[in-house]
Structure 1
């Protein structure tokens, strides 16, 4: 295993969980693995193809993802191919000949292909080493991206009883995990739930004011680096893309309203660094394997945290510092809720409402972003300060809000814990609405106790108390707010409440803090050499007709720019440089590094 890892991938060690997963696959045991984007899932099913007899069949949902992964596998020294609708008839026949000749280590196919009777019969006639199901959450109706085509995959376990199945996904709640295992028919699988914590990502939320100008300012401050911007609708994606282009940004749109040819062309331009920014709807992303995306912006509120987490996970897949920014206004939530209310199935509607409520809390509560994300995904974040979100780096001020919390709680208690948030805020603000006066709640002691502060302030306090579980929300259609046991302790003065409250602060200062903190945990590198190596990589990629990151990742180039390898032996010690890539590109990169050092003789050398 380690020999293959070093020779074909150029890595000295496995990442967390990879070795255990591969060992179980080699023992022909089914596997279910939840690993975050950038956690190294593809290596877990690619590497065994060098050690097992037969072809590893990888079931992947999108054509573009297949192409990038096959290109990368071939670059690393694997015999790999894909079968999908983008191929000509002659190309399909050629792949079938390679299948029958047992000459493919990796074969990527779409779930629709697996459902075809003739393809299924073909698989019966050749040795299969493993079925790997990528993006396995697509089979679960409880997940955020259910796809009916995945349902046909349940036939694999029935018809290939002796072939192991490995299912991978970046996001799955406990309910989704159970659903995937049942529907795929996994047999006593080895289960891995890796940490969802992406330490290289910096999370922050900005108040959405003039989002086009806000995005333009951010992108200009990150000039020349790849980024993804998500918008809620096709029109807004198109408008923002055009706005950025008119202001000198190399931006392209991606949404379902474009032709398939234009979507493919735009995505390829982004993959090959011919465009810096893609402005897309959620239709964009699952098919992108680009490792050096340095930022992901959500210019509109996502519908749920699962989707938000997966979309932000497309930043920094190479492990280098990257930013995730959400521009939020409560108006976005009202728009989403309007469409949720049109859903006829009550169970589906209530589930969507509950997920939206969690997303709103994330965007509005000034509590560690990382802790909220991980908590939703069932993982408890142990540290008190993550150091890589806007809340934890001190953009917010820690304040004692005990008195204001007691005002809210008193109003809830004195009205019998039977009302929702907006009604309680009306009481606190002293609004004598018809309902308040009819129920005589304008007579209670807390009426008007908070009129010296605005409605937005009390909403923020409410969010804090809900996140800290001092208040609980019960009911789905018409939720009411009640006190938790912890909350009662605060109300009766036994405990105090601290919260991070946002002062008025310039956005550029916030951005500077986030950039500084995001990079503070990572080693610096020689930026002048990096630009030269990046240009060399781009030229090689153009000749090979592949994306530049497939030649070498940014992370590998950064390491070259720390240690300045000038011999093959030194290059061999750089992570991500395998034997095949040394044979192909080693001399060119060593020559470039030597030339740079000759021009900069004062550089102090260090070797890895």
Structure 2
């Protein structure tokens, strides 16, 4: 452990391990196999990078993510570590040079895509090399029931079969209990020690709002976050482009990203997001996996994700540096209907569809919950939490509830009397006594439920309908174009045998309170420290441009903030700052001190 701590300080610039990192490093460095479940931003990479430096030979890191490989290799090189990657982004000459360095024992870590690793050529190269360990990143990709199945991962069992004495460490941030069991089974990790860290990202504030005018709601959310880097997820390519355009018109630097864009455009937009401050990326889920940018301050969902795993993974791209970050989502019944239709119209088998329905139901339940969001989210992954986290909308502004039994009976009765053939919008029109052409066409103004719901406005009725669907009192008939239908549970409510408490629609927060929440928990810096911090960021940006690397591989914001607060006056003092290792001190120390001095001039 002393050797591990010395290397941690000398190379990475940290004085102590976080959580279970120390145990994992000692176990793998000693030759043991490990399965590591740790949240995004929890420090998974260090769990194999440090043992790679402690053991003889080259560590092979299997990753499906080109962007992550490139970022991590660049970050390691900044630390003086001999690292390289092999993937489709390299031309033949560059790939050959990496292979030669590997064969000559000149690399500490080599990142490889699974497709490349499984080729006879690369397997032959590994036969001739000294191997320190195998790290299998994004291990949930092995599960066919997971949210990101990659068939090549199924073949990674050959690593243990062919090199049984080389330790393996499999790592993931998103795996429920069934996925964990499948990882163990598929990768033959029955003898591996499991290290399960808390899935709780304490620095993230979770907020879910009822979708009304989603783009306006998004702009309100962003109003106090201008200049921050963030990601806005949309379900469709068209919506991605429209949202990016709308944000740009409001003076926000926003870029679109989806699979339909030209590959060069995608690459340029990703490059700008990684290398520039304050970029907002509007994207489908095609963007984000493997994005190692630590200072993403928010992730916003304009549409419902497909599962709790997807939501957790996507929101986990915010706040990887440990500073306060936001996960914001707008949700409406239409989102659920659209995703249900996508499930039913998909070409997967019935077992898979049943699983996807369950996952969607869990996410809808999370959205409609009146309890602590963090408690609900962690509970999905089998982790208990006492609730009242103080960093979710339900804890910060506890939702009001009301006896919705009569309203639910009116809604269910109206769905029944209109023939269970119509969606929520038409049913609400009937309940509120609207005079629409559709109501007249079907004669629904003659129904006994016509106009019985005038006591609630359309917004309140939409909330009632959403909660009835989420609670299983109504179901959406996807084949019937989103028509609402009664369920087996409906009768008890209609007969008055059950009562129902519903969540009240939240009122909009006053601007002052929204801004207070947006700045909640940010690190305290006075005006002078802020000037120093800004000067350090400007210096970092200049160096990053010269080297054509993301700014955060030079130093994280958290490190620059500590420097700005500590005001070191010499290299010895700078060396005590967390995140300043020996190589970075030698490479950048004098320039950092000069930037500090200039800021105070």
TM > 0.5 fold call: yes
CA distance in 2, matches of 1:457, 1:274: 40
Note the 1:133-532 alignment, pairs <5 A: 133-273=136-276, 276-344=279-347, 345-383=349-387, 385-394=388-397, 396-399=398-401, 401=402, 403-404=403-404, 453=456, 457=460, 480=487, 501-506=504-509, 508=511, 511-517=514-520, 519=521, 522-524=523-525, 526-532=529-535
Q: Which moved more, 1:530-539 or 1:335-344?
A: 335-344
Secondary structure of 1:294 counterpart: strand
Alpha-carbon offset, residue 283 of structure 1: 0.6
8 Å contact kept, 2:32–2:167:
yes
CA distance in 1, matches of 2:113, 2:176: 24
Match of 1:70 among 70, 73, 78: 73
> Per-residue displacement from partner, 1:297-342 (whole Å, max 9, x unpaired)?
1111111111011001000000011111101221111111111111
> Per-residue displacement from partner, 1:481-510 (whole Å, max 9, x unpaired)?
659xxx9xx9899xx97x864442247456
8 Å contact kept, 2:473–2:486:
no
8 Å contact kept, 1:361–1:463:
no
CA change 1:129–1:466 in 2 (3 A) is farther
Alpha-carbon offset, residue 565 of structure 1: 1.6
CA distance in 2, matches of 1:223, 1:480: 46
CA distance in 2, matches of 1:449, 1:75: 68
8 Å contact kept, 1:157–1:186:
no
Secondary structure of 2:296 counterpart: coil
Q: How many residues align?
A: 567
- What residue number does 1:122 align with? 125
- What residue number does 1:602 align with? none
Alpha-carbon offset, residue 405 of structure 1: 5.9
Can you give the 5+ residue segments of structure 2 that lack an aligned partner in the other structure? 413-419, 433-446, 479-484
CA distance in 1, matches of 2:74, 2:168: 23
Secondary structure of 2:61 counterpart: strand
Alpha-carbon offset, residue 430 of structure 1: 9.2
> Per-residue displacement from partner, 1:350-406 (whole Å, max 9, x unpaired)?
2111111122222233332211211111111124x1111111112x4445x4x5469
Normalised to the residue count of structure 1, the TM-score between the two structures is: 0.84
Alpha-carbon offset, residue 203 of structure 1: 1.0
Alpha-carbon offset, residue 453 of structure 1: 4.8
CA change 1:472–1:165 in 2 (3 A) is farther
Normalised to the residue count of structure 2, the TM-score between the two structures is: 0.85
8 Å contact kept, 1:131–1:163:
yes
8 Å contact kept, 1:318–1:553:
yes
Alpha-carbon offset, residue 557 of structure 1: 1.0
Alpha-carbon offset, residue 290 of structure 1: 0.5
In the alignment, does 2:103 pair up with 1:100? yes
8 Å contact kept, 1:365–1:464:
no
CA distance in 1, matches of 2:270, 2:41: 19
Match of 1:541 among 530, 541, 544: 544
8 Å contact kept, 1:405–1:461:
no
In the alignment, does 2:24 pair up with 1:21? yes
CA distance in 2, matches of 1:224, 1:37: 23
Alpha-carbon offset, residue 19 of structure 1: 0.8
8 Å contact kept, 2:468–2:474:
no
Secondary structure of 2:535 counterpart: helix
